[in-house]
Amino acid sequence: MFRNKFLGMVLLMGMLISQSVPKALAATYCDHAQFVSDLTAPDGSAFAPGAAFTKTWRVMNAGTCTWTTSYNLVWVGGDVLGAPLSVRLPVEVAPGQMVDVSVNITAPTTSGHYKGLFKISNAAGTQFGIGDSAGDPFWADINVVSVEAVIYDFVANAPFAQWKSGAGILPFPGTSGDSRGYSYQMNNPHLENDSYDAAAGLLVIPQNKFNGYIQAMYPEFQIQPGDRLQTLVNCEFGASGCYVTFRIDYLLPNGVQKTLWTWKEAYDKRFYRANLDLSSLAGQKVRFVFMLLSSGFASGDRAIWGSPRIVRTGTGQPPAPPPTLTPLPPLPATATPLGQPPPTVAAAGCDRGTFVTDVTVQDGTVFVPGATF
């Protein structure tokens, strides 16, 4: 029994000794950064070849020295990504404060995976970074891909267009044989060269009169840089008497209508693909008008708009960061909204929410398949 008591005392003393040994304290550095988050272009973001964007990190001054305006964000390795080798910090950042650090980047023109490494340098040119030893870089990690996404499908939106001919307003879908002219969706349309298009199209027949026509005016659509309008045009297989003009107009908000593109088509057992750059209309809201005009008598005119659509290259590009670097308060223990609070709204009830803004992924942003954001 004495032996058991003795062993128990030894074990208790061992426990007390082990608990009294302090853990090694983390080393402190004059210059030390701590990564907080990617505000834009998180790891693996996909961009189109040559796309320009701004990468923004949120970092905290984890050292004991203030970062002055003589400190710089510097590229230290990996892929250059068209970034400047050095970007000066325009504001001071005291220990414990956070700051949003940005650099302008241009995606390479070749598809692939790219990673650029960055650190901060002090007034003496000594570089420092993140991690326990303040020596690890933070990075911009992107994928360059060339993927087009259909942003607007004119076939799917045909029921929402205003259809008309010289005889007046027409229904959609129309009725086959209607002398006023008609149109309806065709799945796998039969093309002039006796092939079948895998995508749906619109069969359009103009008003049955000399120089008859049919047109569809679509709802307003806002163009972005790089948008392209694509379609296949030809006569329906077997319509040997078909001789028409395809025409695409656009209507501006001020009511001015302009012609974007025209194409004369005869039954020659061939089809044509149009790929129209809309960059000159970027930022404008326009209404597209698809017209088919007979060249003479309309009997026998059966034409196809093949898979008409507007495409946009996938970029996954986030909204631009603030134009200046702004010191932020120390990281709080619990998450709180960043920046200024939303405007106060008088409550109509106990629970009510008010939308303020899209902070990331604005409406219409395009991502490649499988992209995370």
* Cα-Cα end-to-end distance for the chain: 66
Q: Which domains, from first to last, does the chain contain?
A: 33-146 (2.60.40.10), 150-313 (2.60.120.200)
pLDDT reading at 138 higher than 90? yes
Q: Name the band, by pLDDT with cuts 50, 70 and 90, for residue 164.
A: very high
- 158 Cβ neighbours under 8 A, 6+ residues apart: 172, 173, 183, 185, 202, 216
pLDDT reading at 332 higher than 50? no
- 80 Cβ neighbours under 8 A, 6+ residues apart: 116
User: Token pair for residue 353?
Assistant: 């929410």
pLDDT attached to residue 348: 52
User: Token pair for residue 157?
Assistant: 């939106």
Q: How many helices (H) and strands (E) does the chain have?
A: 1, 22
Q: Name the band, by pLDDT with cuts 50, 70 and 90, for residue 357.
A: low
Mean pLDDT of the residues in the chain: 82
CB contact at 8 A, 191 and 265: no
Q: Name the band, by pLDDT with cuts 50, 70 and 90, for residue 371.
A: low
The lowest-confidence range among 9-13, 88-92, 269-273, 357-361 is: 9-13
Taken as a whole, the chain contains a residue count of 373
Q: What is the mean pLDDT of residues 239-264?
A: 96
201-205 and 303-313 beta bridge pairing: antiparallel
DSSP reduced 3-state for 260:
strand
Cis peptide before 173 (omega within 30 of 0): yes
Q: Following CA atoms 372, 368, 304, 252 in sequence, which dihedral angle do they give, to the nearest 10 degrees? A: 80
Which residue do the tokens 């009294």 mark?
20
The lowest-confidence range among 51-55, 100-104, 328-332, 358-362 is: 328-332
Report CA 1 to chain centroid distance, whole Å: 77
Which residue would you say has higher pLDDT here, 320 or 39?
39
